[in-house]
Structure 1
Amino acid sequence: MSLFNKVLASVGIGAANVDTKLEKSTYTAGEIMRGEIEVRGGNVAQQIDTIYLTVYTTFIREANDKKYTDKAAVNKVKVSEPFSIEAGENKVLSFSLSLPLDTPITAGKTKVWVQTELDIKNAVDPEDKDFIEVKPSKLAASVLDAVKGLGFRLRQAECEQASGRFRGHYPFMQEFEFAPTGNYRSHLDELEVVFLSQSEQSVELLMQIDRKVKGLGSLFAEALDMDESFVRTTITTQDLPNLQAKLQQIISKHL
């Protein structure tokens, strides 16, 4: 019977399983996540080589004129050394995991989750997936609020495959697409904002300012993508008191 149970466990039937319990479901980028991992033994004793915790997000990748949804790791840590778990035994491990400052914000179609994976030789590896809500860091939130304060409405937020020119730590960039309202409605089609890098003291922004077509000359400019201006700028904590005015000045130069 024991041998039969081992065979079943090797394909995931009656094997050990895992359940991760986070302290909460909403975090701010840059925060430390804490919780417990409960490993429950199955019908037979098993050797757990290690446990990994990975923060994943989804992003859109284009290939051969088609769009695919992929996942990418934002952070991955090893949380245990090898150990054995007996049949029916419960083990609980505490953990802490850093959520990087440049973790995508769960706005629009962006999803972020913590995945727990047990590495068991010659067996199906058990896993657990916990979706979380990620809010922007204080500085990133200030930038997004300033853009909204200028009369822009967030229309879409999505992680897309990054080009080689702008690729950083990850294979994607999160794009925030804003629709103009108020005075900007007659001048712009849209404004896109990307956080290229972030720290506690500064963020590097890439802004795509898409002007509205006016007349035949502008129509040709749009066909050649000449109606779009790309602006790269750095915002620091010292800019916060006058942040909205600084962004307004940048946008106004490209109307």
Structure 2
Amino acid sequence: MSLFNKVLASVGIGAAKVDTKLFNSQVIVGDQITGIVEIRGGNVEQEIADIYVSLITTYIRESDDKKYTKQGVIGQYRISEKFTISPNEVKEFPLSITVPIDTPISGGKTKIWIETGLDIKNSVDPSDKDYIDILPSKLMQEVLNAVQDLGFRLREVECEAAPSRLRAGLPFIQEFEFVAISGPFRGKLDELEIVFLQQQVNTLDIMMQIDRRARGIGSFLAERLSMDETNLRLTVTTGDLPNLNNKLFEIIQRYS
């Protein structure tokens, strides 16, 4: 019977199970996620080589004019040494991980989750998936608020594959796409895209794409050649916050 149970456990039937219980499923980038990882033994004794926790999202990659959805690992953490779990035994391990500062924020098509897995030799590895809500830092939120104060509506949020010169350690960047529905830029811009780049405590580097609405003779050619787009980088600091709306207005106005 024991041998039969071991065979079943090797294919995941009656094997140990993992369940992550988060204390906070909503967290600001740079802050900590905490909780408990519970391991419940199955029908047979099993040796667990690792408990690993991964912070994961998805992003879009284009190839041959087709779009593919890929998983991107933002961070991976080992939270235990090798141990043995007896039948029906319950073990708990504390979980505390810092959300990397370049983690995309939740919204639009961007979903983020924690995946907890057990590494069990010669067996199907059990796993558990818990969605979390990642909130922007203060500087990021202030930028998003200022753009909306200027009459823009957030139309789409999506992570896309990007060359290394435009990103940090991750294979993608997160784009915030806005459309002007009121205010001084309505009718002037097709869209405004913002990407948050490097971030520190008091500074935030931003890439902005201003997509002007082409007009008059040659507008069709301008659209086809992307001559109506301006890409620029700027830095926002905590010192800019009292005058942030005006700073962004002047930059967008200059290239509209």
- The TM-score, its normalising length taken from structure 1, stands at 0.97
State the shift of 1:209 in Å: 0.1
RMSD of the alignment, in Å? 1.0
Q: Give the Cα–Cα distance (whole angstroms) in 2 for the partners of residues 6 and 202 of structure 1.
A: 55
**What is the letter of the counterpart of residue 188 of structure 1?**
L
Residue matched to 1:55: 55
Q: Give the Cα–Cα distance (whole angstroms) in 1 for the partners of residues 46 and 64 of structure 2.
A: 44
Question: Given the alignment of the two structures, is residue 7 of structure 1 paired with residue 24 of structure 2, yes or no?
Answer: no
**What is the letter of the counterpart of residue 228 of structure 1?**
E
Residue matched to 1:185: 186
**What is the letter of the counterpart of residue 235 of structure 2?**
T
State the shift of 1:62 in Å: 1.1
Residue matched to 2:212: 211
Q: Is the 8 A contact 2:25 2:33 kept in 1?
A: no
Q: Give the Cα–Cα distance (whole angstroms) in 1 for the partners of residues 181 and 88 of structure 2.
A: 61
Greater Cα offset, 43-52 or 59-68: 59-68
Residue matched to 2:21: 21
State the shift of 1:191 in Å: 0.1
Residue matched to 1:141: 141
Q: Give the Cα–Cα distance (whole angstroms) in 1 for the partners of residues 219 and 204 of structure 2.
A: 33
Deviations 1:58-111 (A, max 9, x none): 111111211111111111111000000001100011110111122111110100
Q: Is the 8 A contact 2:119 2:125 kept in 1?
A: yes
Question: Given the alignment of the two structures, is residue 247 of structure 1 paired with residue 217 of structure 2, yes or no?
Answer: no
Question: Given the alignment of the two structures, is residue 100 of structure 1 paired with residue 100 of structure 2, yes or no?
Answer: yes
Q: Give the Cα–Cα distance (whole angstroms) in 1 for the partners of residues 226 and 125 of structure 2.
A: 49
- Percent of residue pairs bearing the same amino acid type: 54
Deviations 1:160-217 (A, max 9, x none): 1112431321011000000012221121110000012212211111100000011013
Q: Give the Cα–Cα distance (whole angstroms) in 1 for the partners of residues 112 and 131 of structure 2.
A: 6
Q: Give the Cα–Cα distance (whole angstroms) in 1 for the partners of residues 186 and 49 of structure 2.
A: 58
Q: Give the Cα–Cα distance (whole angstroms) in 2 for the partners of residues 37 and 209 of structure 1.
A: 45
Q: Give the Cα–Cα distance (whole angstroms) in 1 for the partners of residues 169 and 73 of structure 2.
A: 10
Q: Give the Cα–Cα distance (whole angstroms) in 2 for the partners of residues 111 and 250 of structure 1.
A: 31
SS at 1:252's partner residue? helix
Alignment map for 1:49-88 (pairs within 5 Å)? 49-88=49-88
Q: Give the Cα–Cα distance (whole angstroms) in 2 for the partners of residues 10 and 219 of structure 1.
A: 62
State the shift of 1:223 in Å: 1.7
Q: Is the 8 A contact 2:156 2:176 kept in 1?
A: yes
State the shift of 1:220 in Å: 2.0
Residue matched to 2:35: 35
Q: Give the Cα–Cα distance (whole angstroms) in 1 for the partners of residues 234 and 34 of structure 2.
A: 34
State the shift of 1:134 in Å: 1.1
SS at 1:175's partner residue? strand
Q: Give the Cα–Cα distance (whole angstroms) in 2 for the partners of residues 247 and 101 of structure 1.
A: 23
Deviations 1:224-243 (A, max 9, x none): 11000001111111111111
Residue matched to 2:160: 160
State the shift of 1:29 in Å: 1.2
Q: Is the 8 A contact 2:56 2:73 kept in 1?
A: yes
Q: Give the Cα–Cα distance (whole angstroms) in 2 for the partners of residues 253 and 3 of structure 1.
A: 75
**What is the letter of the counterpart of residue 197 of structure 2?**
L
Residue matched to 2:227: 226
Q: Is the 8 A contact 2:38 2:92 kept in 1?
A: yes
- The TM-score, its normalising length taken from structure 2, stands at 0.97
Q: Is the 8 A contact 2:55 2:75 kept in 1?
A: yes
Deviations 1:103-152 (A, max 9, x none): 11111010000000111111111100000111111111111111111111
Q: Give the Cα–Cα distance (whole angstroms) in 1 for the partners of residues 95 and 85 of structure 2.
A: 19
Gapped runs of 5+ residues in structure 1?
Answer: none
Runs of 4+ in 1 over 6 A off after TM superposition: none
Q: Give the Cα–Cα distance (whole angstroms) in 2 for the partners of residues 29 and 79 of structure 1.
A: 21
Gapped runs of 5+ residues in structure 2?
Answer: none
Matched positions, count: 255
**What is the letter of the counterpart of residue 237 of structure 1?**
T
